[in-house]
Amino acid sequence: MVEVDVFWSYGIGASFALGAFRQLRKAQKERDPGEKRFGAQEVLSLRRVIQEIEKGDSPAFDNQYFLKTVLFLALLFVPSGANLLWSNPNWETMQVGSYETIPGWLVSAFSITNVTQGILGYWATYNSLMKGKYFNAALHTMMSYLGFWFILVNGWDKTGYQRFFSRNREAFDNWKWTNVFGWLTSDVVRILLAYGAFFIPLMLYWIGTWLLEGYEMDEQVDFQMPEDMMEQLVEHAKVDSYLLGAVFGAGLGGAVVAHLLIRWFGWIKGLAAFAAIYGTGASSVGPWLLKKILKVDSMNGPAVWELSAEKVEEVKELIGASA
């Protein structure tokens, strides 16, 4: 949907960077050990991203993980949204627009931002990872999916789920729960299943594979990829279960709680109550789950440039000893 894809594309880019965080930190340390302190304004600046990409040898972008992020967004994510916008404009705009009312520039902007937002999500997460701020890096993914689910469940008028389960504007205007059956047999569901059956498993495979490879390359993590194919699938399933638990548990679960609180207490009191509940969970359950996914002892680690400085000192000591 137009309204939620801005969150989803950002979350895709952020999650891809998070999945490859050990590989990306290693590349930054080995290829460009200089200190990189980008402020919030630079991190969220598309101009800064373009400048870094144009360098051609930036550890952030000159790697397979960024390439796969862009290819995934451009070749899979954008076409799926464009297909739905063309075939079901009512549903794709959450029952707001139609063929007659959707301007051409909106279609272009929708397609462009589905790529640029993903790049920004990747870049912002990357910078947090380089600083050793693992929890902050993970928040880019978690908050994106929370925003994604909140729009679908609540929306801007507490009818998000009704808009989602209505196949067109007429069904939404005459909302009843039996609309779900009409939605299930619509083109919308067939398109969602066709694309989802391909790119969601691909997302899980890539992120899971990168995490497992990262475990294996880290001497501080007691992990070795088993040689048996079935045992490898079990390891992938474990990682994927944690990833899905974060997306659906913290994301969808949080959105449902927020929606109910808003319905019961109104926008201001409901959101205040949700912020208190979610903040408590994020500070307690969140780190536990993220440690399971990332396999780190702490949600804060050393910055990459600090590790590089330590390596330089070690080399100097070795040189001095040999002299």
266-304 tens-digit pLDDT: 999 999 999 999 888 777 788 888 999 999 999 998 888
The pLDDT score that the predictor gives to residue 33 is 55
Domain interval for residue 75: 2-322
Q: Which amino acid is at 316?
A: K
Q: Which amino acid is at 108?
A: S
Q: What are phi and psi of 48, to 5 degrees?
A: -65, -40
107 Cβ contact partners less than 8 Å away, ≥ 6 residues apart: 82, 85
What's the total number of domains in the chain? 1
The pLDDT score that the predictor gives to residue 24 is 94
Q: What are phi and psi of 207, to 5 degrees?
A: -60, -45
**127 within 8 A of 38, measured Cβ to Cβ:** yes
The pLDDT score that the predictor gives to residue 28 is 87
Three-class secondary structure of residue 300 per DSSP: strand
Q: Supply the Cα-derived Rg of the chain in whole angstroms.
A: 22
Single pTM value for the model: 0.90
The pLDDT score that the predictor gives to residue 316 is 46
Ranges of residues in the chain with a pLDDT under 50 are 312, 314-316, 318-319, 321-323
The pLDDT score that the predictor gives to residue 286 is 83
The pLDDT score that the predictor gives to residue 258 is 96
pLDDT digits (tens, 9 = 90+) for 124-143: 999 999 999 999 999 999 99
The pLDDT score that the predictor gives to residue 132 is 92
